[in-house]
């Protein structure tokens, strides 16, 4: 049967194959445990059901790949859904998480410590696309129309303590995330293509991380009434943060560049990076020489 809904268990303890002929549902927290491999066939769809799930430490639906787990995917698509399992244009979930064994890291109540007794994680995919993942600090209830306050917000796509030998996800597209489009904490990864469209807050948040972009980087955080919403937010809690753009990379940026950052590039125009700057930055082109965006000691 095509389009059959399959609800994933809260803990995936055995190797699991995901079929493109089924739609997988996450209600609450789903964790892929260490030494477990998830294989996703081309075109797999996963729905994260919006709303409160008290059994989840994030209190929302989330897909978490634990330290020492593995993913092997081609093209995989994740999206928010309502209780009727219909995709919706509302982000009120915990997003997708990848936890490595490269460095200690923590965010949103999840704490990761390196453990050499555990295997390295390994995450491989041709493309992961996300739509309306994450959780804002408040939202308008679709039932009552009232503004609901939540507290902390959660990013759509989170990478914690992942090293270069653990990461082989080539392309990522994050659309309409509730907080940051993608967040890297204490990680070092290489990505061929990264595209982030219209997050509620920043496009890329990197804390003491190194991200290498090889072929294309497209970030669109066009100006809205929201302030302190940047293309890049680089934090330096445990060390410097770097975003490296390799020679030949196609770059398209639209939005406020970010506070207290340094752009080293012979081709890209110099951005305004003063604190609380709200001037929009534009650049579109293929760079011939490498470019570096970094922060050494400014958060």
DSSP string, 97-160: EEE-SSS-EEETTEEE---TTSPPPEEEEEEEEEES-SB-SEEE-TTT-PEEE-SS-B-SEEEE
**What's the rounded mean pLDDT across residues 112-129?**
95
- Statement: residue 39 has pLDDT above 50: yes
At residue 55 the predicted structure's pLDDT band, cuts being 50, 70 and 90, is confident
Report in angstroms the alpha-carbon separations of 159 from 121, 184, 224: 12, 5, 27
Determine the Cα–Cα distance for residues 258 and 293; give it in Å rounded to an integer: 10
Range of the structural domain that residue 147 is part of: 4-295
Average pLDDT over residues 86-105: 97
Query: Is the pLDDT at 201 greater than 70, yes or no?
Result: yes
The pLDDT, as a whole number, for residue 299 is 61
The DSSP bridge partners found for residue 93 are none
Which DSSP helix (H) or strand (E) runs through 235?
Answer: strand 232-235
DSSP class of 59? S
Q: How far apart are CA 291 and CA 279, in angstroms?
A: 21
Give 292's DSSP letter.
E
pLDDT band at 1 (very low <50, low <70, confident <90, very high): very low
Q: Which residues pair with 71 in a beta bridge?
A: 38, 123
Structure tokens at 93: 């979930």
224, two tokens: 């809205």
DSSP state of 238: S
Q: CA quadruple 164, 166, 168, 174: dihedral positive or negative? A: negative
Euclidean distance between CA atoms 49 and 174, whole angstroms: 17
Which is it for strands 262-264 and 105-107: parallel, antiparallel or unpaired?
A: unpaired
Mean pLDDT, range 253-261, rounded to an integer:
95
Q: What is the domain count for the chain?
A: 1
Radius of gyration of the chain (CA): 18
In angstroms, the Cα distances linking 83 to 72, 76, 89, 170, 265 are: 29, 22, 13, 32, 48
Are 68 and 122 in contact by the 8 Å Cβ rule? The answer is: no
pLDDT attached to residue 142:
58
As a whole number of angstroms, the distance between CA 149 and CA 100 comes to 32
- Whether 173 contacts 199, CB under 8 Å: no
Calpha distance 79→189 (Å, rounded): 24
**Interval 136-195: pLDDT, tens:** 876 556 566 665 555 567 999 999 999 999 999 999 999 999 999 999 999 999 999 999
Residue 60 token pair: 């929302």
Sign of CA dihedral 126, 132, 138, 143: negative
């Amino acid at each position: 049967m095509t389009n059959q809904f399959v609800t994933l268990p809260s803990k995936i303890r055995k190797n699991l194959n995901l079929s493109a002929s089924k739609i997988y549902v996450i209600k609450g927290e789903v964790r892929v445990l260490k030494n477990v491999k998830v294989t996703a066939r081309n075109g797999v769809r996963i729905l994260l059901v919006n709303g409160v799930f008290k059994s989840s430490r994030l209190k929302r639906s989330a897909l978490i790949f634990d330290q020492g787990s593995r993913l092997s995917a081609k093209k995989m698509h994740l999206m928010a859904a309502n209780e009727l399992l219909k995709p919706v244009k509302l982000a009120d979930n915990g997003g997708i998480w990848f936890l490595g064994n490269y460095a200690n890291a923590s965010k949103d109540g999840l704490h990761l410590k390196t453990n050499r007794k555990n295997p390295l994680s390994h995450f491989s995919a041709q493309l992961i696309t996300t739509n309306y993942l994450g959780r804002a600090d408040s939202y308008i209830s679709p039932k009552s129309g009232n503004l609901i306050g939540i507290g902390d917000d959660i990013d759509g796509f989170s990478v914690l303590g992942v090293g270069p030998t653990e990461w082989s996800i080539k392309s990522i597209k994050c659309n309409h995330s509730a907080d940051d489009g993608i967040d890297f904490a204490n990680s070092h990864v290489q990505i061929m293509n990264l595209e982030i469209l219209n997050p509620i807050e920043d496009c890329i948040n990197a804390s003491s991380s190194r991200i290498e972009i090889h072929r294309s980087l497209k970030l669109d955080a066009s100006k809205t009434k929201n302030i302190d919403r940047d293309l890049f937010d680089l934090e330096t809690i445990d060390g410097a943060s770097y975003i490296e753009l390799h020679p030949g990379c196609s770059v398209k940026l639209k939005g406020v560049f970010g506070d207290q950052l340094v752009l080293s590039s012979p081709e890209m125009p110099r951005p305004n990076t003063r604190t609380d700057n709200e001037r929009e930055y534009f650049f579109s082109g293929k760079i011939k020489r490498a470019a570096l965006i970094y922060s050494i000691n400014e958060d």
